Amino acid sequence: MEQGDEGRLVGSDRVLAVLKELARYPDGAGLEELTRAIGSPKPTVHRALGALRRAGLADQDARGRYVLGDEFLRMAFAHHEARPEHVRIQPVLETMATRFGETAHYAVLDGRDVVYRAKVDPPSGAVRLTSTVGGRNPAHATAVGKLLLSHRLDTLEDVESWIGVSALVRRTPQTVCTAADLHRELQETRERGYAVDDQENEPGINCIALPVYATSPVTPSGALSISALTYRTPLRALIDAMDEIRSLLGDVGEVRC
């Protein structure tokens, strides 16, 4: 974001910063709270909130706390539901969630992270995942991330360049954190045609991912995953069901995996 001479957010960038910060508070946030988080003077944050309220992008609840406005939610959900890949992948996710009784995701690569574009929870089951549409996770620690990286990083030099000077975050003791180990994982992913996450992003959760070609016959637009609780559906069970998973994917819509 553009900053002034003193390193402070200016103009429209401040309004956008307030909007992004407000999205972190589903139960609403007070002016003082937002002022501290943004690091701008209270009057300027108040003016930014006023601009957002006039546009319908923010509102105040009965307690006087600021929340995202109905117009913002309407635009966000309308845009999300109308995205071509979301419309096409939704039946696939529903099929997978019902068949395996676990959560199905569709995610895309964004820099060093994956972003979840769609999610379907199983129709039954007391324990469900906390992932959210729009949420992020490190690509190297997830099956969807490794699947998509395997189509972009062919050599060890490619992997090293992608990692750069910032070390890979170790989410669990299982997380792959070196260039050599990640390169080996990506090679194995390319050879077998699917990626796995063996409790690498979160303890007790394993995952399997396959590519989705929603916009191109050769380059994946994203990846579909089945994320399962290890005690309920071990990783081995997902791998053993790979032929069935591919068959189900081939029967639903125009999504090719």
Minimum mean pLDDT range among 6-15, 82-91, 95-104:
6-15
Q: Is 71 exposed, middle or buried (0-12, 13-18, 19+ CB in 10 A)?
A: middle
The pLDDT score that the predictor gives to residue 4 is: 41
More reliable by pLDDT, 89 or 137: 137
Tokens of residue 188, six digits: 């194995």
CATH class of 11-75: mainly alpha
123-132: pLDDT as tens digits? 876 566 778 8
Domain residues of the chain, as ranges?
A: 11-75, 83-251
Q: Does residue 87 register a pLDDT over 90?
A: no
**Spatial contact of 142 and 154, defined as CB atoms under 8 Å apart:** no
Q: Which fold has domain 83-251?
A: Beta-Lactamase (3.30.450)
Banded pLDDT at 207 (limits 50, 70, 90): very high
Are 11-75 and 83-251 the same fold in CATH?
no
Predicted confidence (pLDDT) at residue 91 exceeds the cutoff of 90: no
Residue 29 has pLDDT above 60, yes or no: yes
Please give the model's pTM, rounded to 2 decimal places: 0.68
Distance CA 45, CA 23 (A): 15
Contact 84, 225 (CB under 8 A): no
Confidence of residue 110 (pLDDT cuts 50, 70, 90): very high
